[in-house]
Amino acid sequence: MGQIVNAVLPVFAIIGVGWLAGHRWGVNEAAAAVMNRFVFFFALPALMFRLLATAPIDEFSWPLLAAYFGGQLAVWLAAFAAMALIWKRPMAERVLGAVSAGLPNHVFLALPIVIWLLGEAGTLPVLMIVALDSLVIYSVTLVLMEIATHDGPDRHPFRAVFDSYRRSPQLITILLGLAWGLSGFPVPVVLEKATSFLGAAAAPTALFVLGSHLSRARFTGNRAMLASLIGLKIIVHPLLVWLIATGLFGLSGNDLWVAVLVATAPIGATSFVLGQHYGLFKDEASAIVTISTALSFFTMSAIILLM
């Protein structure tokens, strides 16, 4: 119980403060957007670069990544099929439903909890999962969304991926951090201290902004469909990761529980961001992000109790 108090409650307390700020204390969408840009373009890249550049990448457990990705792929396909066959949604919304069920809030929720539980030494698996999701899942999602929403000569799915990556400081810092970590060169003290100082603001600011966004969420859409996507994300995904990790790869200890904990994280904001960009699935995405975040307090606490 002490682990939950020390690791989970601070995270959700900051989300709660952000919710109050958005609901009662005048932190509107414009103010939250400024803070979100600070996190996205400065604080989070600094944190990710420093952690990857100083991590023992050669000691990383590749079976952990395979177990996580196996569960993620199964959930993505199940959600896509359900959106098509049961809920009869168009192609673009099938993709957004699938990415909702398959992409967790690992950067803004799972990563802070792992840092508080295991220290920075335990963050490498989370960062490698983030790298995989950025390079593979997000790329596939962008290509499918461009194909689903554009016809004729104006359809350039791979250009959309390239442009997105070119403008993504997270991807750039992931690649730079991985390259530096693999090179074996030490990080200069000045760079290490600067990125440490700046990166320390990433998690609390991101959680505060998440809370303020949740205060403006709207709960609309097919309730059964939304419940199925939430269930796939916070129940089926971690269960599949656990089964693959233990049954196929024999994982145990921190490797096992970090993979399961990340899979238990709630639905990330990717579906909402893409929904805003393409003008569809916005209210549904807002609802499932909010509800799954609230429920994840209990599911992530349960995983920590079992660790």
How high is the pLDDT of residue 151? 63
The segments of the chain whose pLDDT lies below 70 read 1-7, 121, 150-161, 163-168, 220
Angle at 160 between CA 154 and CA 161, to 5 degrees: 150
pLDDT attached to residue 7: 65
Note if the pTM is more than 0.75.
yes
pLDDT at site 274: 78
CA-nearest of 234, 232, 203, 208 to 7 is: 203
- Residues 189, 1: Cα–Cα separation, whole Å: 38
- Taken in order of first residue, the domains within the chain and their CATH numbers are 2-306 (1.20.1530.20)
DSSP state letters, 256-291: HHHHHHHHHS-B-THHHHHHHHHTSSHHHHHHHHHH
Amino acid 152: pLDDT: 57
Question: Cα separations (Å) of 81 from 69, 204, 220, 258?
Answer: 18, 36, 22, 28
pLDDT at 158: 66
Q: Which pLDDT does position 264 carry in this prediction?
A: 94
Q: Which residues pair with 267 in a beta bridge?
A: 104
At 4 the pLDDT is 61
Residue 150: what are its φ and ψ, rounded to 5°?
A: -130, 140
Do you know the residue count of the chain?
307
Q: Quote the pLDDT of residue 153.
A: 59
Amino acid 154: pLDDT: 58
